[in-house]
Structure 1
Amino acid sequence: MNGETAWALYENRLRRVSAYIHDHLDEDLDMERLAEIACMSSYHWHRIYRAIYGETLAATVKRLRLHRAAGDIVRTDLTVGEIAKRSGYPNLQSFNRIFKSVYGMPPARYRREGSHKAFEPSPDGKTTPMFDITLRKIEPIELIGVPHAGSYMQIGKAFEALFGALHARGLAKPEMRMIGVYFDDPDIVPAEKLRSIACATGGSGVPIEPPFERQTIDGGEYAVLRHKGPYADMHKAYQWLYAEWLPKSGRQIKDSVMFEEYLNNPRDVPPTELLTDIYMPLA
């Protein structure tokens, strides 16, 4: 088996394990079971996974479960106890402690005071102050991506497939920018029908073979909001952009897609330190 064939085999196994983790977060994700899905010994597989993704399998499972829990806290009426159990923590105290260690506050307080609250009207009915918006003119951007169907909160599944394929094929470059392109309004379209694509820049010379697709972002002027905090909070930023900033700006939106650029890596920084630029196209 030559090197190219070996990496192609690893790529398929990476994709298979990553998809299984995302699709079975409610279940007991035993590390030995994940190694079985990869069809490799636990001893070797965990090292290969960490070499590609920069974190252990256990760290991935913990991060994804807490990411989903944060989304449930912000967007649903589920009790903290129900969310804890759904996240694999039958002990509520353990869930509270681990959530606080990652998100900076216990889940009940996060529901009341998380960064998503910054985009909501104050209790006295006054509108929130205008957040800083940068107007930027950009050239068209050619991207390579992996499509995702379903909840935008789960686009990480496509990003892991993209990331794993780029690394396994020797195509990953430090200067690549990570970009998510979103085609539907999650307040109108059912979650299971939402369409998006996880992308990277610098793919103009990359052969378009599965799972890759090409995607182009239109050049022009964009209003850019820099969001700091968990990805689970960002839907509030979108609502604020449309309801508050756009009508007060006097600008009109262009019939083109919005996109997000992720300025740091959720594997490297806590959710409270994540930086995301949200691009709204302007006419």
Structure 2
Amino acid sequence: MRRTNIDLKEDYTHRLSRVFSFIEKNLDADLSLKIVAARAHFSEYHFHRVFKFVTGETLNEYVTRKRIERAALDLVHRKNTIKTTAFKFGFSSMSSFSKTFKKIYGISPKEFQFQNPNKFSKIRQLESKIGQAYPDIEKYICIINNIKNWIIMKADIQIKEFSDLNLACVSCTGPQNLGLAYQKILLWATPKNLMSEDSKMVTIYHDSFKVTEPDKIRMSACLILEKPTETSHQIHEKNIERGKYIVGHFKINMTEFEKSWTGLFIWMNENGYQKADKDPFEIYYNNPNEHPDKKAIVDFCIPIV
């Protein structure tokens, strides 16, 4: 049977999943085509074609974008000096960093750091969706206070130590593809009798909506494994490392996920915590479609140092 472009893209995406992780963990290092292709066990020529086919970007374009996005988050969450951030993410000069940063975000790193840090956040996205201009300082403070009050009523927030979580995952790009990724997990897990009333699904966010365009957000749809299980060519294993997390437990409508994440990050900042260099994730405790009020029971988890 002839394989379609969609089939090929899904297969290559799976094969590149470890490459994406390697890139994200080594943004300060040499990520040349030769080094990354060798990591993927492809020839340089074949890897270049496959990578562009899957991501729509060359390796250099992808790495540069990831470095700038991570640098932007670093400026927002850690308030590092611009020079420290530039060298932390592999830029050899301030001029190169500033020029590339401005090309992606339209403003300099200095302007980005000292402007309202939520200009690029989900609040901005929600405002723009309904045709409103970005709020002035009074309106902004009102929005923040409303979210703070809302999260106090909606969430049980705790600091928890997590043990290692072993997962079976399917990665995808763009929120519109997350449902299909979960279908693949279920089709793989059900015949293996891995699904039960106690099974928990997890969504990992490898990128942030604060700084990455939605259609380029990488996510993983996952199932928590209770024991070691052999995966398939489309399912990869992943481990969420033990560590300390802010955990917000919610019972919410599906339309309230963005507001919940925004509120939890505000809570993090207000209480003096700092995000760790790990990916945030959601743990689901039910199927919202089976809840009488269509509510999702979910933990939002932010890794902290």
Map 1:194-209; keep pairs closer than 5 Å.
194-202=217-225, 204-209=227-232
| SS of equivalent to 1:233 | helix
What's the TM-score once normalised by structure 2's chain length? 0.49
Q: Is the 8 A contact 2:254 2:295 kept in 1?
A: no
Structure 1: state its 5+ residue gaps. 1-15, 20-71, 79-119
Per the alignment, residue 147 of structure 1 pairs with 171
Q: Distance in 2 between matches of 1:255 and 1:201?
A: 22
Count of matched residue positions in the alignment of Structure 1 and Structure 2? 171
Equivalent of 2:148 in 128, 139, 144? 128
Q: Is the 8 A contact 2:288 2:294 kept in 1?
A: no
How far the C-alpha of 1:123 sits from its partner, in A, is 7.0
Q: Distance in 1 between matches of 2:143 and 2:278?
A: 35
How far the C-alpha of 1:176 sits from its partner, in A, is 2.2
Q: Distance in 2 between matches of 1:124 and 1:224?
A: 20
Q: Deviations over 1:27-69 (max 9, x none)?
A: xxxxxxxxxxxxxxxxxxxxxxxxxxxxxxxxxxxxxxxxxxx
| SS of equivalent to 1:180 | strand
Task: Determine if the alignment matches structure 1 residue 275 to structure 2 residue 297.
Answer: yes
How far the C-alpha of 1:154 sits from its partner, in A, is 4.3
| SS of equivalent to 1:155 | helix
Q: Distance in 1 between matches of 2:210 and 2:292?
A: 28
Q: Distance in 1 between matches of 2:210 and 2:190?
A: 35
**Letter of the 1:256 counterpart:** K
Q: Is the 8 A contact 2:288 2:297 kept in 1?
A: no
Q: Is the 8 A contact 2:247 2:301 kept in 1?
A: yes
Cα distance, 1:252–1:135 mapped onto 2, change above 3 Å:
same
Larger relative contact order (C-alpha < 8 A, sep ≥ 6)?
A: 1
| SS of equivalent to 1:128 | helix
Q: Which runs of 4+ in 1 moved over 4 A?
A: 72-75, 120-127
Equivalent of 2:186 in 131, 146, 163? 163
Q: Distance in 1 between matches of 2:271 and 2:144?
A: 24
Q: Is the 8 A contact 2:147 2:259 kept in 1?
A: no
**Letter of the 1:158 counterpart:** A
| SS of equivalent to 1:175 | coil
Q: Distance in 1 between matches of 2:127 and 2:290?
A: 23
| SS of equivalent to 2:289 | coil
Q: Is the 8 A contact 2:185 2:222 kept in 1?
A: yes
Cα distance, 1:121–1:276 mapped onto 2, change above 3 Å:
farther
| SS of equivalent to 1:159 | helix
What's the TM-score once normalised by structure 1's chain length? 0.53
RMSD of aligned residue pairs (Cα, Å): 3.1
Equivalent of 1:225 in 248, 253, 257? 248
Cα distance, 1:245–1:213 mapped onto 2, change above 3 Å:
same
How far the C-alpha of 1:209 sits from its partner, in A, is 0.9
How far the C-alpha of 1:126 sits from its partner, in A, is 6.8
Cα distance, 1:154–1:172 mapped onto 2, change above 3 Å:
same
Q: Deviations over 1:146-180 (max 9, x none)?
A: 112112x5422211211122113443344321111
Per the alignment, residue 261 of structure 1 pairs with 283
Structure 2: state its 5+ residue gaps. 1-6, 11-124, 132-139
Q: Deviations over 1:130-159 (max 9, x none)?
A: 6241111111111111112112x5422211
Paired-residue identity, %: 20
Task: Determine if the alignment matches structure 1 residue 210 to structure 2 residue 230.
Answer: no
**Letter of the 2:173 counterpart:** A
Per the alignment, residue 25 of structure 2 pairs with none
